[in-house]
Amino acid sequence: MSIPATDLQAVIAQLLIYPVKSCGPVALGQALLTDQGLDLDRSWMVVDERGQFISQREQPRLALVQPALRSSDLVLRAPGMLALHLGLESVESPAQVEIWDEPLQAWDMGAVAAQWFSDFLGRPARLVRFDPQVERVCDRRWTGGQTVLNTFSDGFPLMLLSQPSLQALNARLQASGRAPVDILRFRPNIVLAPQDPQTWPAHQEDHITEFQMDTPQGPVRLRPAKPCSRCSMVDVDPASGRIDAGVLAALHANRRDPRLDGAVTFGMNLMVLEGYERRLSVGQSVRARSAAS
């Protein structure tokens, strides 16, 4: 469902980053927008002994790793573990890693971090840092040929989801006897709350052509690039780190997207048209241009 082409109004309800890929979130009141997404989002990643990335798909317990950002370090905490402190500007040695069959040069975070993740996961693991000198380019088929950069996220620098979309999913889950789920299942960076819910039905973000925000540093313009395809990670309960199946099946019922050959989608990946080095804020007004559908 979509309303006719018009300008819609919303506010930013939540800003979230995930400093370590597949680990817990950090909720922010303000977030710096860089040419690779929100600052420090997916800047670290857990890999195996071959340099292959490890995610909640095979290690749901990663959801229990809770990060906290301080002025000069990242602190990681997990059940049964002492806190791991990592300097925000500290790395130890070059490393070759691979994410979705894409080889990348990165930085290894050293033996202490490796032992911490190996002990917690019960298997050999290391922690690596994204190399800011590397240009990891998003799929140009979805960016209109523009060069859009990314860190360790799966494909694009930002992901947006609206509250009505989650509310509609939870209504379906509850109708089938299941408990509602938190938006953290879907790991968005930006959560929008419409100013007028009557003009923003569930999945209205599927039909937005551009989002605009006015910041004290100047305008920010974001364009939807690609619907966000979903996998088994949405069945991981972030509170317990265990599989809680049913969410992906509920999405299969009505979220198969012809733009991705029938893949299940929920939320939109974004690219930045304007606004690098400007700050987004919770409560900030958003203008969204909706196309007719």
Instruction: Order the strands of the 84-87 sheet from edge to edge.
Output: 66-69, 73-77, 84-87
- Full-model pTM: 0.95
pLDDT recorded at residue 1: 39
Residues with Cβ < 8 Å from 130, sequence gap 6 or more? 42, 43, 44, 45, 106, 107, 136, 151, 152
| Helical residues (DSSP H) of the chain, grouped into ranges | 111-121, 163-175, 247-254
- By three-state DSSP, how is residue 174 classified? helix
Sign (positive/negative) of CA torsion 89, 37, 184, 59?
negative
**Does residue 6 have a pLDDT over 80?**
no
Q: What is the pLDDT of residues 226-280, one digit of tens each?
A: 999 999 999 999 999 999 989 999 999 999 999 899 999 999 999 999 999 999 9
Q: What is the pLDDT of residues 147-172, one digit of tens each?
A: 999 999 999 999 999 999 999 999 99
**Amino acid, single-letter form, for residue 199:** T
pLDDT cut 70: percent of the chain above it: 97
pLDDT recorded at residue 292: 56
Q: What is the pLDDT of residues 126-148, one digit of tens each?
A: 999 999 999 999 999 999 999 99
Planar angle of CA 228, 40, 16, nearest 5 degrees: 50
Question: Can you tell me the mean pLDDT for 62-80?
Answer: 97
Which residue has 């052509």 as its token pair?
Answer: 209
pLDDT recorded at residue 211: 97
**Does residue 4 have a pLDDT over 80?**
no
Domain topology for 6-290: M1 Pyruvate Kinase; Domain 3 (2.40.33)
Sign (positive/negative) of CA torsion 231, 234, 239, 244?
negative
Are 44 and 258 in contact by the 8 Å Cβ rule? The answer is: no
Neighbours of 13 (CB within 10 A): 16
Q: How confident is the model at residue 293 (pLDDT cuts 50, 70, 90)?
A: very low
Planar angle of CA 13, 11, 219, nearest 5 degrees: 120
Q: What is the pLDDT of residues 28-51, one digit of tens each?
A: 999 999 999 999 999 999 999 999
Are 262 and 230 in contact by the 8 Å Cβ rule? The answer is: no
Nearest CA to 65 out of 14, 116, 130, 30 is that of 116
Are 221 and 274 in contact by the 8 Å Cβ rule? The answer is: yes
Q: What is the pLDDT of residues 11-32, one digit of tens each?
A: 999 999 999 999 999 999 999 9
pLDDT recorded at residue 213: 96
Tell me the domain boundaries of the chain: 6-290
**Amino acid, single-letter form, for residue 236:** V
**Amino acid, single-letter form, for residue 181:** V
